[in-house]
Amino acid sequence: MDRLQLLAAELFGYSFANYEEHLGIGNERYERLMPETAETLETAEHEGWSAFKIAEELDVDVERAEQLLVAFERARDVVDAENPAEAFRHGVRFAIMDALDDGLDGPEALENLVTQICFRAADLAVLLEQVGEPLSRYSRHLRREPNVEYYEGYFDE
């Protein structure tokens, strides 16, 4: 998978493995439309487009354009991470943030979070396969314990 395809997978909430399974079979949505949306959002971000302009370009309403831009920023944090372990850490962090936002308040919510973390582990496997390196290469990154590393702005409410 190339970078735009990885961004598209993240942007639209697909695991990398699932997205990859849809490639090479002539599926226009996965092979062209979703990566083009990611590319448009990247251009919009670089050029500072308004939500209105993004909405016009993508033929969505302004609220959806704003949601896509936020989703793109998250996708970029994962895909452009310095290495697969950091991509995994970002993905897990986002899964936990979403679970907290949705109300992590019972066994079903907990199992949903566990499932999302498992999907992130599967994504890590795809990234490791792409770079041809073993997980042990990134052990230090996965075990890193910063003093306090919050996602910027999340707890500033």
How do residues 55-85 score in pLDDT, each as one tens digit? 999 999 999 999 999 999 999 999 999 999 9
Same-domain check for residues 10 and 50? yes
For residue 97, tell me if it sits in a domain.
yes
Domain end (from 80, 104, 121) = 80
Same-domain check for residues 72 and 26? yes
For residue 75, tell me if it sits in a domain.
yes
> Which carries the bigger pLDDT value, residue 143 or residue 156?
143
Q: What are the contacts of 62-67 at 24+ separation with CB within 8 A?
A: none
> Number of structural domains, the chain?
2
What DSSP state is assigned to residue 151? P
Q: Residue 144's pLDDT is what?
A: 82
**Cα–Cα distance list, 119 to 16, 52, 98, 126, 155 (Å):** 9, 33, 14, 11, 25
The pLDDT mean for the chain works out to 93
Give the torsion sign (CA, 77, 83, 88, 90). Answer: negative
- On the question of pLDDT at 27 being above 80, the answer is yes
pLDDT per residue over 31-59, tens digit each? 999 999 999 999 999 999 999 999 999 99
Q: Residue 143's pLDDT is what?
A: 87
Same-domain check for residues 26 and 42? yes
For residue 142, tell me if it sits in a domain.
yes
pTM above 0.75, yes or no: yes
Domain end (from 53, 80, 107) = 80
Domain span including residue 88: 83-146
pLDDT level of residue 150 (50, 70, 90 thresholds): low
pLDDT per residue over 100-130, tens digit each? 999 999 999 999 999 999 999 999 999 999 9
pLDDT level of residue 151 (50, 70, 90 thresholds): low
CA 65: distance to chain centroid? Answer: 17
Same-domain check for residues 71 and 90? no
Same-domain check for residues 50 and 104? no
Both tokens assigned to 151? 């996602």
CB 11 within 8 A of CB 75: yes
Domain end (from 48, 80, 112) = 80
Both tokens assigned to 19? 């997205």
Same-domain check for residues 73 and 33? yes
